[in-house]
A and B are shown apart, each in its own frame.
Chain A
């Protein structure tokens, strides 16, 4: 082995190269934001949502549950920025506090579907054969139902709880993840670097986890970001029709539902502000998709 360490000058005519730019994640993120300001806006909104979810309950001026009939149905003012609802609760406080619940439902369901759908899809794409058939038909079966109706059915069957909203949201997103992961894994199954890793003595499982999964992460990250928005919308939708989260818990969907009947009589703010929050969140996650892809793709880091 010792002779291997000797450097033979004839064997190594140094190929010229340029020093690589420093590629810290932060510098890279800065570049991406500067290249596309919309991505910057999305990241900013995301930070805002994250802050509201973490610190919201301790920052809001009013108790989101405390009703005060004396100040019911007040229009937005300096004291109540978003006005008050029919029970006199401060809508601003309720919208901020609700962020945590809505965000948590979305994150949990996306994490769950990423694990289930991603893994099933990757295995279907990598192994093919009966695994592929089973996963494919399962996805088809789910896709055969109108997804929101399916989610309603699942929550109704499993019981009216936040956990079940998470599960239902995950299940209806399963086909999306499974199909994307399957297609990507299938393309890479025969890729050169996978063959090379096979030669290095890697087992199938190791190939899957070290070679294929990391390389489909960029596209999965985009998928996750997009479905986050969809998951929030779905959770709010279920609450809107009275499934899942129950009043008086502050939640955007319920708040929109509660406020809906007042719009006719002119008290627009009760439904408007939670709806605005919902729209902002969905908008943010959709925009985030592109930014996330740019951030996690190693090819872009030079």
Chain B
């Protein structure tokens, strides 16, 4: 086999000019992609995996430049190619799929028209045939009822649907190489499976090569032929997908693999050996909560309805035609469950299943429509959300949010953020006492104390997550709602944060309501699990029961959609 690879990156170094001198984002890496091959570039944030792909299509931002090395694509040197040549290559020879499909689509143009635009631009269709070809393209990416969807705007489609449209756009011109940059991050597992299956199938069918950029080793293993592992701008390992999981060579690869939650692991197993420490007392089975003990929280028949916007055109309204008001949309449809003291309850489901609405109602950020939320015997659901800030129960129910960056005020230092609930409700007075308390909390969550004077943008993702946790536990609440607390974090950071959460729970005797779509994480952390679909509970029981031997079809579907490394 002496066929030259389709894409050959040799000794590539990419530099960024920053305020503090030049930073090498990618350091002398070699990657090659053969024709028809699917290659995964795996690494955590800051590993340079995206920068590498940007260098290939030459869309680095102004501060970045290729300092050294060559990128050759079917004989063309992409580093030296003129901008006109690059324009020709982008889209027709190499196309890209980005992480956020909604951002990649023009929000005010019908998706069918957007596909037509590309087809016309690259002379794949004429005006007369464009519409049919666009519908055909939509059908090819398995969009149901393509004739109708042709007229849809991006906001009318779900995230998975938008990503399919983006794939249709990317493949419209039959490129030879597809670069998919985290194409399924932010999508549900079942959607992820559908999208990935689609990408792999379509590219194989056309003999295309694919570069999949991802942080998820499981995904890389399940769909790619070759895996390239990057760490801090270096390629640390390149191997066949099966090989790398059976026999990882580099310590970093091993660390990544270890941190990826899998079946049959405990939380402790996620941590590198050096950080494990004495695990004996934590690994001991926890005493099950006494069955007759009153639960900390009992939710009964909880319902949240949203009114549907009245349809009907402006003209018909003007004519005085009134139509029947539609039945309101039930985001949460009469669910009941309870949380025992010291228990971690997992709330699982895909986006739109009502799990976030449920957690928002329980934290009393929004009002319920009907039903009751009994917290320690009091129906806190009866207190309007607007007045709950002044309630004595406010300090007992806290929340750790999904995106640590979004959840911190950019103008507050970490200390000020942690101190906020204490200032409002903690009853600690005096600067020194407050400072001491914040430092205690920082130590407790493993945030170096010298960092608490920093602003959020000066902290890493893991550090911000710790600030968020410290703020939530500052008042020693009884119930903490964890809304996908690790979804935005790298796996190794996730491993540490999950262990931290588990330990804090045991030490402070809190209960957790863990909202997540990642079943592997839920399996590790939760005692009991509730599976939700379209506002209703489809299955609940202990973690082993629900995730080990699911009864409901939906749970089975969720479980099979998780990509598993072939170990």
Contacts and interface: CB of A to CB of B under 8 A. Distances in A.
A and B associate in one complex: yes
Interface of A: 1, 3-5, 7-15, 17, 20-21, 31, 191-193, 195-204, 206, 210-211, 214-215, 298-299, 301-302
Contact of B503 (A1, A8, A201, A298): A8
A147 B412 CA distance: 39
Contacts of B394: 199, 201
Interface of B: 19-20, 271, 275-279, 363, 365, 386, 389-390, 394-395, 398-399, 401, 403, 406-412, 420-421, 424-425, 440-441, 443-448, 451, 454-455, 457-460, 462-463, 468, 471-472, 493, 496, 499-500, 503-504, 507-508
B221 to A, nearest CB: 26
Contact of B276 (A10, A14, A193): A10
Contact of A196 (B276, B279, B401, B499): B401
Contacts of B271: 10, 13
Contacts of B410: 193, 215, 298-299
B493 A200 contact: no
Contacts of B448: 14-15, 17
A201 B425 contact: yes
30 contacts: A4-B508, A10-B275, A10-B277, A10-B503, A11-B445, A12-B445, A13-B446, A13-B496, A15-B448, A15-B462, A15-B493, A17-B459, A191-B406, A192-B407, A192-B408, A193-B409, A195-B365, A195-B407, A196-B407, A199-B398, A200-B421, A201-B395, A201-B421, A204-B386, A210-B409, A214-B409, A215-B411, A298-B457, A302-B19, A302-B457
Contacts of B459: 17
Most buried by A among B420, B463, B496: B420
A3 B409 CA distance: 29
A5 B458 CA distance: 25
A3 B271 CA distance: 24
Contact of B408 (A196, A203, A204): A196
Contacts of A201: 389-390, 394-395, 421, 424-425
B424 A214 contact: no
A20 B455 CA distance: 11
A137 to B, nearest CB: 21
Contact of B471 (A14, A200, A203, A298): A200
Nearest to B446: A12
9 nearest CB pairs, A to B: A12-B446, A10-B277, A192-B406, A200-B421, A201-B424, A192-B407, A193-B409, A200-B420, A201-B425
Contacts, number: 122
Contacts of A302: 19, 457-458
A7 B277 CA distance: 13
B61 to A, nearest CB: 16
A5 B508 CA distance: 12
B500 A11 contact: yes
A73 to B, nearest CB: 55
A192 B441 CA distance: 21
Nearest to A211: B409
A55 to B, nearest CB: 35
B378 to A, nearest CB: 17
A12 B448 CA distance: 8
B62 to A, nearest CB: 13
Contacts of B420: 197, 200, 202
Given A5-B444, A196-B407, A302-B457, 17 more contacts: A3-B507, A4-B444, A10-B271, A11-B499, A14-B448, A17-B460, A20-B458, A193-B412, A195-B365, A199-B363, A199-B394, A199-B421, A201-B390, A201-B394, A206-B424, A214-B411, A298-B455
Contacts of B19: 31, 302
A11 B411 contact: no
A58 B472 CA distance: 59
Contacts of A9: 277
B397 to A, nearest CB: 8
Given A201-B424, A202-B424, A298-B411, A11 B395 contact: no
A1 B463 CA distance: 23
A7 B444 CA distance: 6
A197 B420 CA distance: 7
B183 to A, nearest CB: 25
Contacts of A197: 409, 420
Contacts of B278: 10
A4 B440 contact: yes
Contacts of A15: 448, 460, 462-463, 493, 496
B460 A215 contact: no
A200 B462 CA distance: 21
Nearest to B437: A1
B499 A10 contact: yes
Given A17-B448, A215-B410, A199 B365 contact: yes
A178 B277 CA distance: 57
B307 to A, nearest CB: 16
Contacts of B395: 201
A17 B463 contact: yes
A215 B399 contact: no
B490 to A, nearest CB: 11
A41 to B, nearest CB: 21
A193 B406 contact: yes
A7 B439 CA distance: 11
Contacts of A193: 406-410, 412
Contacts of A191: 406
Contacts of B412: 193
B420 to A, nearest CB: 4
Contacts of A12: 443, 445-447
A156 B464 CA distance: 57
A1 B473 CA distance: 12
A4 B507 CA distance: 8
Nearest to A193: B409
Given A4-B440, A11-B446, A191-B406, A200 B424 contact: yes
Nearest to B448: A14
Contacts of A4: 440-441, 444, 507-508
A17 B401 CA distance: 23
Contacts of A11: 444-446, 499-500, 503-504
A228 B471 CA distance: 41
Nearest to B474: A200
A28 to B, nearest CB: 11
A14 B442 CA distance: 12
B411 to A, nearest CB: 5
Nearest to A213: B411
B503 A202 contact: no
A302 to B, nearest CB: 6
A31 B390 CA distance: 45
A68 B504 CA distance: 85
A273 B148 CA distance: 67
Contacts of A21: 20
Contact of B365 (A5, A198, A211): A198
Contact of B454 (A3, A20, A204, A299): A20
A198 B389 contact: yes
Contacts of B399: 196, 199
B224 to A, nearest CB: 29
